C-alpha cells in the first residue's frame, strides 16, 4: 500500500489569515494521523506565510507516523531540519516568491550542491528525497546525488488527466521504471486528488508515498477530513 502523507500548509494559511491559532496546526496533524494518514508533511518558506518555523518544532513530538519536511535547502532550512531530525526531508528548488512549487531540480546542474546537502542530512539519520520533473535524465542525475528517493512532480499529469488525456501518465511510468531499476524510492506529489490518485497509483510501480495537501483540504470542506482520508487510503491500496 502506498502511504498517504497529508500536507497541512493550507491549515496554517487559514490560521494565519486571522492572526490567531484557529485552526490549530498541531491538533490537525494529530487528527489526520488518528484518521489513518501515515505521515504529515509541511513546507515552510522563508517568509513563513503559512507554516512557520516554530510550527515545525511544535509538530515534532506530535508526529508519530512519518514526518516529512519540504523546502529549499537554504542555511536556515538546513539548520532547522538538522535540529528536528524528521523522518524525511524533501528538497524543493523554490524561489523565494513562489506561490507554490512549480519545477523540479536540475539534478545535473546542481549535482555538487545536492550531493553536499544530502550527505549532511543522511549523516544525521534523515531520509532524503529530491523533487524532480518526469524526465529520465533528471532521474539519473538524482541517483548520482546519493538521494534515497525522488518525489515526482505531478502537476502536468494532473492537469492533462483533468482534460481527459490519460496518456499524460507515460513519462511518469518511464521515470518510475528507471528509478526502480536504480533502487531509488519513489514518492509523488502536487495536484493529486481523489479524482486522479487511483489511476496514478495503479500505473506507477513501486510508489511508496504521496504527499497531498491542497486538494485534500479542499475536498474535506465538502466531505469531511476523516471521510476524505479514508477515501484516499482506499484508493491507495
Catalytic positions, written as ranges = 43, 70, 190
What is the number of other CB atoms lying within 10 angstroms of the CB of residue 190? 25
17: Cα separation from own chain's centroid? 23
Give the residue among 104, 102, 128, 106 at the shortest CA–CA distance from 116.
128
Q: For strands 66-71 and 39-42, give the pairing.
A: parallel
Contacts of 30 (CB under 8 A, 6+ apart): 62
| φ, ψ at 66 (rounded to 5°) | -95, 135
Cell of 149: 528517493
Helix residue spans in the chain (DSSP H): 9-16, 25-34, 53-59, 75-84, 111-123, 136-145, 155-162, 170-181, 197-203, 214-223, 225-235
Angle of helix 214-223 relative to helix 9-16, nearest 10 degrees? 70
Amino acid at each position: 500500500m502506498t502511504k498517504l502523507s497529508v500536507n497541512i500548509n493550507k491549515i496554517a494559511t487559514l490560521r494565519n489569515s486571522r492572526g490567531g491559532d484557529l485552526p490549530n496546526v498541531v491538533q490537525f496533524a494529530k487528527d489526520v494521523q488518528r484518521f489513518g494518514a501515515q505521515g504529515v508533511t509541511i513546507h515552510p518558506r522563508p517568509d513563513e506565510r503559512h507554516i512557520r518555523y516554530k510550527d515545525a518544532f511544535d509538530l515534532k513530538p506530535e508526529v508519530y507516523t512519518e514526518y516529512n519536511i519540504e523546502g529549499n535547502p537554504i542555511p536556515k532550512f538546513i539548520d532547522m531540519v538538522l535540529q528536528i531530525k524528521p523522518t524525511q526531508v524533501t528538497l524543493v528548488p523554490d524561489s523565494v516568491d513562489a506561490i507554490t512549487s512549480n519545477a523540479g531540480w536540475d539534478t545535473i546542474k546542481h549535482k555538487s550542491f545536492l550531493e553536499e546537502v544530502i550527505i549532511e542530512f543522511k549523516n544525521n539519520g534523515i531520509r532524503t528525497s529530491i523533487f524532480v520533473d518526469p524526465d529520465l535524465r533528471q532521474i539519473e542525475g538524482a541517483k548520482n546525488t546519493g538521494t534515497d528517493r525522488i518525489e515526482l512532480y505531478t502537476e502536468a499529469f494532473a492537469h492533462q488527466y483533468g482534460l481527459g488525456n490519460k496518456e499524460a501518465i507515460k513519462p511518469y511510468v518511464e521515470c518510475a521504471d528507471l528509478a526502480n531499476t536504480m533502487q531509488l524510492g519513489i514518492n509523488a506529489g502536487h495536484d493529486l486528488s481523489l479524482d486522479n490518485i487511483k489511476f496514478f497509483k495503479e500505473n506507477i510501480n513501486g510508489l511508496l508515498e504521496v504527499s497531498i495537501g491542497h486538494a485534500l483540504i479542499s475536498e474535506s470542506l465538502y466531505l469531511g477530513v476523516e471521510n476524505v482520508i479514508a477515501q484516499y487510503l482506499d484508493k491507495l491500496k
